[in-house]
Amino acid sequence: MITVTKTFFPPLKEYNSQLQRIWDNQWLTNRGELVVELEGKLKKHLSVSNIVVTTNGTIPLQIALKLLGGQGEIITTPFSYVATTAAIVWEHCTPIFVDIHPEYLTIDETKIEAAITNKTTAILVTHVFGNPCNTEVIEGIAKKHNLKVIYDAAHCFGVRYKDKSLFEYGDVSTCSFHATKLFHTGEGGAMFANDNELQHQMFYSHNFGHNGPLAFHGLGINGKMSELQAAMGLAVLPYMEFILGERKKAVDYYNKYLDLSRLQTLKIRENTSWNYSYYPLIFESEDQLLKVEERLKASEIVPRRYFYPALNTIEYSKGQLMPIAESIASRILCLPLYVGILEEDLNRIINIINANVC
């Protein structure tokens, strides 16, 4: 079976060598040696000023909203994974959706100001499939209206925009290190802030608010990464150049051999060094998508309707019409893309799609 993604497993011997350190240290969690080392190596690898690694990629969104959202209205995108909206609602804020750009698939920055009210406290938007939002315009709007900016950068490991890490934009950026991501720790994530005081708040917030063992800076939650997760990250990190190279080969192959005359691909924003995180195809109609999906599954090829449905239509946030996002969500399909996908498998996928898009 060809699945939409497969986890990259580093050589077992190398992972075991990291596990041996844990056994030698007899330390499993609470910011052990491996977690601290991973943060240092990621900081260097990504060229970022600050980083806190976390147990998953959702807790950074919740912490950012707890610190910056003020239980107000949050301008956000209807086209993202459900965690983006769920975090807003979970933190007792109100999602206010703004429709997306039909080619970049990120929030349409020209429509943001019309959605701002006196209850708006922040803008939380997604760099979709690792494709940057228009950060200059968004951050200009935020400055004009005294709003905070949080970027859901779950897909953005290694992406650079205008010659710097995409994690360096906004008040807070977050990332996922889930097993399906390019860089992963099995489960995991990270949060980034350029402001040192805000970074300090996020740091203690992910560790119950601790200021040493007996005192507290303030309210916190348990978002700490374990040593076992960090061990996986330390074993995966040396392979990032290889991982990106293999994914680029697959993306280039799709681009070369798919008949794109009646299909739309993701338009990458100018001045972006992309990471080949997903390969989404947008069909002319949902019927066409369903036909292709059925043919692929009949051949034991499993793509994914990602993202579907549009987040403005789910039960706890529905009510706002978002015609572009709803249309895209009904017609988009992510094709299999991972390290080790065979050329013969790519050909099977391509031939089925080309034969059924007519």
Residue 319 pLDDT: 81
> What average pLDDT is seen over the chain?
97
Inform me whether the pLDDT recorded for 358 exceeds 80: no
- Give the 3-state secondary structure of residue 1: coil
- 227-236 and 33-46 are packed helices; what angle lies between their axes, rounded to 10 degrees? 40
Mean pLDDT in residue range 329-338 = 98
Task: Say whether 239-356 and 3-238 share the same fold.
Answer: no
More reliable by pLDDT, 190 or 214 = 190
pLDDT digits (tens, 9 = 90+) for 67-123: 999 999 999 999 999 999 999 999 999 999 999 999 999 999 999 999 999 999 999
Inform me whether the pLDDT recorded for 276 exceeds 90: yes
pTM: 0.97
Inform me whether the pLDDT recorded for 318 exceeds 90: no
- Give the 3-state secondary structure of residue 325: helix
CATH 3.40.640.10 for domain 3-238, yes or no, is yes
Q: Kindly indicate the confidence band of residue 22, based on its pLDDT and cuts at 50, 70 and 90.
A: very high
Q: Which of 327, 268, 231, 314 is nearest to 29 (CA)?
A: 231
Options 3.40.50.11270, 3.90.1150.10, 3.40.50.10860, 3.90.550.10; CATH of 239-356: 3.90.1150.10
Q: Which residues pair with 190 in a beta bridge?
A: 53, 175
Domain locations in the chain as residue ranges: 3-238, 239-356
Q: Kindly indicate the confidence band of residue 166, based on its pLDDT and cuts at 50, 70 and 90.
A: very high
Mean pLDDT in residue range 30-36 = 97
pLDDT digits (tens, 9 = 90+) for 38-64: 999 999 999 999 999 999 999 999 999
